[in-house]
Amino acid sequence: MYIPKRYGQSKVSKCPFCGRDAFSQNSQKIPVCKEHKDNMLKDMKCA
């Protein structure tokens, strides 16, 4: 079932470190907040 986006609705990424809105990307191209821009995520595996 296809549900179109409503006016003004957009994707909001969350910072994986603190859960706040992510406005920038770190060197791994992961969306993060400005306070965690220099942090790196360790190796992770899908469960």
Mean pLDDT, range 26-44, rounded to an integer: 88
Nearest Cα neighbor of 39 from 15, 19, 12, 20 is: 15
Percentage of the residues of the chain whose pLDDT score is greater than 90: 36
Where residue 6 falls (left for φ over 0; alpha for ψ -120 to 50; beta otherwise) is beta
Question: In 3-state terms, the chain is what percent helix, strand and coil (to 5)?
Answer: 5, 15, 80
**What is the span of the domain harbouring residue 26?**
11-37
Confirm whether 44 is domain-assigned.
no
Confirm whether 46 is domain-assigned.
no
Q: How far is CA 37 from the centre of its chain?
A: 11
Structural domain total, the chain: 1
pLDDT of residue 7: 76
pLDDT of residue 22: 92
